Amino acid sequence: MNKPLRRISLFCGLLILALLIRTNWLQYVHAEELSTRKENRRVQIAQYATQRGNIIVKGGQSITGSVATDGSDYKYKRTYVEGPMWAPVTGYASQAFGSTQLESLEDKILTGNDDRLFFDRTIGMFTGDKKAGGNVVTTLMPDVQKAAFDSLGDKTGAVAAIDPRTGAILALVSKPSYDPSTFAGNSKTDEKAWVELKDSEDKKLVNRALRETYPPGSTFKVVTAAAALENGAVTDINAPTDTPEPYFLPGTKTPMVNHAKGCEKASLNDALKVSCNSVFAMLGDKVGRDKMVETAQKFGFNNDKIDTPVRAFASIYDKTMGKDGNAQSAIGQFNTAATPLQMAMVTAAIANDGKLMKPYMVDQLTAPNLDVIEKHEPQEMSRPLSAANAQKIQQMMVNVVENGTGEKAKIKGVTVGGKTGTAQHGEKNAKRPYAWFISYAKAADGTSPVAVAVVIEDSEASRDDISGGGLAAPVAQAVMKAVLSSKN
């Protein structure tokens, strides 16, 4: 062989060797990465090649399904039962537009691709059973979800209800909502429905219960009350405070405006009953920013890792504001912001004698044959306040419902505690205020099976008629009644 031919042979040999190395690198080192890339169409085809498992609520009711499709690479598409009511729980699974929330987070279980289902897949190869997805069993109660959804009516807002004893989420509603079935496929009709939904001004795709924050207004006063009691700023909830009238924000000549009468030197109990801004602003200043931050964080504020498993947006209590900002934040204004879930957590901790349980909405994951492959165990998250101080705030919240601004949350024969809130927002507070209500109800055994937070962004009511007690309390009442009825 002459010299030029040897060189060509050597060069070709090196090319073949490089090709073999590259092929093996792709097959074995990058195989998983390539097989799971969104750009890999085979992944989506496989994802919808079999019927997905179902998302199930209490009582064994499936709120999802699958249906065969024609004229598409995707064999099955997702269907939803009462889609708009359950969308804040399920999210969506669309052949064309991906997936969100439980549909996304539990996709491997639902498609049957989870490693924990390997045994089921292996047995199926011998028995001839088709591959099937597992199921996601939630903590949601259908009667409670419906009560919250129906009670909100056509109002824009959200509801979050929790079992304080375990942290189980019982209801999660966001309005206006959407029907995930309308864009579950990949046809032109699905695309049209998606574009209209995505571009809508009313933010139907936003889960307001978990992923929208609002100034909590006077509902935050229960956090300030907890901070005052825990840090010794108040020891007797019925003793007069030294609150002047008017009360000027620290370091300013700006008076804190009260919308209630009798706030001068009002006791903590009376101040919560009629919602005195001055008393809680003064107490926030007495406790101090750092201790206020500490208490708020024990309730869950400033935590960007609250997973239900859907991650909730962090609720905020400013760590760097000045004294005047802290006084305003102590009444739920200034930079303070909270999700409805967060305010339900605050209420749950108080109702559960100071113990905050971590919120969750997935009770268990099951194989296609319904064998349990994972079960959630309730977890304590923190102790924001002592049992004694929690019971003092319970007394105060019962007083709000029995004799104060929360009368529309009363349930005959049941102990109910609550707190109203009307949160101002916008430049110079020019926008329509948000209406809040937080509450809990006691069962016959003295425990509290439900804590609920309701926020209403907008309604047909005039600005002067917007209040937590007027708009949001009846929604909370309906939710609590549904829980109590289910328990009975």
Which pLDDT does position 463 carry in this prediction? 36
Q: Would you say the C-alpha torsion 127, 132, 133, 137 has a positive or negative sign?
A: negative
* SS3 at position 45: helix
pLDDT tens for 38-95 read 666 666 666 677 889 999 999 999 999 999 887 667 788 999 999 999 999 999 999 9
pLDDT tens for 184-236 read 998 899 999 999 998 888 999 999 999 999 999 999 999 999 999 999 999 99
Question: Looking at per-residue confidence, does 249 or 9 come out higher?
Answer: 249
Helices 340-351 and 221-230 pack at an angle, to 10 degrees, of 40
* 426: its two tokens: 């916008």
Which pLDDT does position 254 carry in this prediction? 94
Q: Is the pLDDT of residue 423 over 90?
A: no
Nearest to 468 by CA among 74, 39, 136, 155: 155
Which pLDDT does position 25 carry in this prediction? 73
Which pLDDT does position 462 carry in this prediction? 38
pLDDT tens for 300-326 read 999 999 999 999 999 999 999 999 999
Which pLDDT does position 466 carry in this prediction? 39
Q: Is the pLDDT of residue 426 over 90?
A: no
Is 218 among the residues known to form the active site? yes
Nearest 10 degrees: Cα torsion 158, 460, 219, 89: 0
Which pLDDT does position 129 carry in this prediction? 62
Nearest to 188 by CA among 100, 98, 95, 103: 95
The one catalytic residue in 66, 177, 218, 459 is 218
Per-residue pLDDT band for 140 (boundaries 50, 70, 90) equals very high
Q: Using CA atoms, how far apart are residues 311 and 10, in angstroms rounded to an integer?
A: 57
Which pLDDT does position 406 carry in this prediction? 92
Whole-number mean pLDDT of the chain? 89
Pick the CATH number of 210-364+380-487 from 3.55.50.30, 3.30.420.40, 3.40.980.10, 3.40.710.10: 3.40.710.10
In the chain, % of residues over pLDDT 90: 72
DSSP letter (8 states) at residue 143: H
Per-residue pLDDT band for 124 (boundaries 50, 70, 90) equals low
Per-residue pLDDT band for 13 (boundaries 50, 70, 90) equals confident
Using left for φ > 0, alpha for ψ between -120 and 50, and beta otherwise, residue 123 falls in: alpha
Bridging pattern class, strands 156-162 and 362-366: unpaired
Which pLDDT does position 428 carry in this prediction? 46
